[in-house]
């Protein structure tokens, strides 16, 4: 019996290199160092999604990984192609099987859990939010205490049907969960507003950085070109179009020298952003790279870009903590009163512009460029107090919180 092990439910897990995989991997690594081993039930991985062998290499030898099969996912792909776009059944289908919920792995994951020995706790992390439904069913069957880790809030849908779908599931989860972890206090506030009882223990454990992966950059300064760097995927409302258009207008007016500018986009874009004609030589798109290769791009940057639309205002992404750790200037297009904006102001590492404020965006870009041109743009370095976001310390916070689940 493995009564001292933790059972994690995480759709993304190495070798897949998703954001959810990164958070869970570092928790498992640091908890193992203090004597707590882990088992992970994860979604199917057949090489189609992005992989990072270096992330898998960080896993301790004690970690056991159980992959769900691809049968239900493949069935969903075939079925989705046959559904008429206009029918209500299609909307319902995508609520159940779409990217936010990913219901296709639930039965396989719950079945896999039946073959495992007993564990000390179940910890689910989402999105996708089906991870919490899997954990709830395991909890109902085995009575093992369950901790819900919420990286992002489940957004309101475009219609009442999607809100009803979400509300029914959250009501079941909130009546069964033993404790809740969230990456920001704002997310916890939302969960309490949606019905999470005040009696359920909660803890804020943010995303963070690994000091070994993100030491302060010591490369020559200033960089040869005024390089704007964005790393990560672009999709939905998370777009870089406004930044590209602002730079294009500044070049067109002669405020910026086109030959001195470099814009690097490292990641996938759905769809690719429209590149203005006068930026096509200096703007380059690269596929997502393993984390070990990110540093070479960071070293080329003059300014790091953070793009966070209104829908993601409550979250502080991992990349922001890494930007703060390496100590390069940051241009953040984020809601002005968001946790990300407050963190940047606290450490004095950059400038914040509200999404949609094109005049402020142009002005801030020109200020950065002028400072770079004159040699007065300086990397802010790592601010005092940032060490509280180092992942080994965050894992310690989680370790100290685990007994709270047994009190329920």
Q: pLDDT tens digits for 26-35?
A: 999 999 999 9
Phi/psi-derived region of residue 375, left when phi > 0, alpha when psi is between -120 and 50, beta in every other case: left
Residue 357, pLDDT > 50, answer yes
Whether the per-residue pLDDT at 170 is higher than 80: the answer is yes
Residue 47 pLDDT more than 70? no
Q: What is the mean pLDDT of the chain?
A: 89
Do the strands 202-204 and 350-353 form a parallel or antiparallel pair, or are they unpaired?
unpaired
Please determine, for residue 312, whether its predicted confidence score (pLDDT) is greater than 60. Answer: yes
254 has a pLDDT exceeding 70: yes
Residue 2 has pLDDT above 50, yes or no: no
Around Cβ 33, how many Cβ atoms within 10 Å? 11
- Give the mean model confidence (pLDDT) for residues 8-34: 90
Stretch 369-388: mean pLDDT: 94
Distance, CA of 216 to CA of 209 (rounded, Å) = 12
DSSP H stretches of helix in 218-338: 241-252, 291-300, 318-326
Contacts of 90 (CB under 8 A, 6+ apart): 83, 84
200, pLDDT greater than 80:
yes
Domains and CATH numbers, the chain: 6-208+390-406 (3.40.50.2000), 226-374 (3.40.50.2000)
pLDDT range class, residue 291, cuts 50, 70, 90: confident
pLDDT confidence of 1, banded at 50, 70, 90? Answer: very low
Mean pLDDT of 66-80: 66
Q: Scanning the structure block, which residue is given the tokens 């960080």?
A: 58
Structure tokens at 376: 């007065």
- Split at pLDDT 50, 70, 90, the class of 162 is confident
């Amino acid at each position: 019996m493995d009564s001292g092990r933790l059972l994690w439910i995480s759709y993304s897990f190495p070798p897949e290199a998703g954001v959810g995989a990164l958070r869970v991997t570092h928790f498992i690594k640091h908890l193992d160092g203090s004597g707590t081993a882990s088992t992970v039930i994860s979604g199917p991985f057949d090489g189609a999604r992005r992989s990072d062998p270096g992330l898998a290499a960080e896993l301790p030898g004690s970690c056991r990984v159980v992959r769900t099969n691809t049968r239900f996912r493949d069935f969903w792909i075939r079925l989705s192609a046959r559904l008429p776009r206009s029918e209500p059944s299609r909307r319902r289908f995508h609520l159940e099987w779409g990217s936010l919920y990913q219901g296709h792995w639930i039965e396989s994951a719950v079945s896999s859990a039946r073959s495992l020995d007993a564990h000390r706790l179940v910890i689910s992390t989402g999105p996708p939010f089906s991870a919490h439904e899997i954990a709830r069913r395991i909890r109902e069957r085995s009575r093992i205490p369950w901790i819900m880790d919420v990286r992002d809030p489940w957004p309101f849908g475009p219609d009442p049907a999607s809100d009803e779908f979400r509300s029914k599931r959250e009501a079941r989860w909130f009546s069964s969960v033993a404790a809740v972890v969230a990456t920001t206090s704002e997310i916890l506030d939302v969960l309490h507003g949606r019905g999470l009882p005040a009696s359920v223990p909660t803890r804020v454990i943010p995303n963070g950085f690994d000091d070994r992966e993100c030491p302060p950059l010591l490369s020559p300064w200033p960089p040869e070109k005024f390089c704007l760097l964005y790393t990560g995927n672009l999709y939905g409302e998370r777009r870089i179009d406004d930044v590209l258009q602002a730079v294009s207008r500044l070049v067109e007016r002669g405020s910026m020298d086109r030959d001195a500018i470099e814009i690097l986009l490292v990641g996938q874009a759905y769809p690719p952003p429209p590149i203005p004609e006068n930026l096509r030589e200096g703007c380059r798109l690269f596929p997502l790279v393993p984390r070990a290769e990110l540093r070479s791009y960071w070293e080329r940057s003059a300014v790091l870009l953070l793009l966070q639309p209104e829908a993601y205002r409550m979250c502080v992404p991992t990349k922001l903590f890494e930007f703060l750790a390496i100590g390069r200037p940051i241009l953040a297009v984020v809601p002005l009163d968001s946790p990300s904006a407050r963190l940047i102001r606290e450490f004095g590492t950059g400038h914040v512009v509200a999404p949609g404020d094109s005049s402020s965006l142009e002005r801030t870009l020109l200020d950065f460029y002028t400072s770079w041109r004159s040699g007065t743009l300086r990397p802010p370095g790592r601010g005092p107090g940032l060490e509280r976001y180092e992942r080994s310390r965050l894992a310690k916070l989680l370790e100290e919180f685990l007994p709270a689940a047994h009190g329920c």
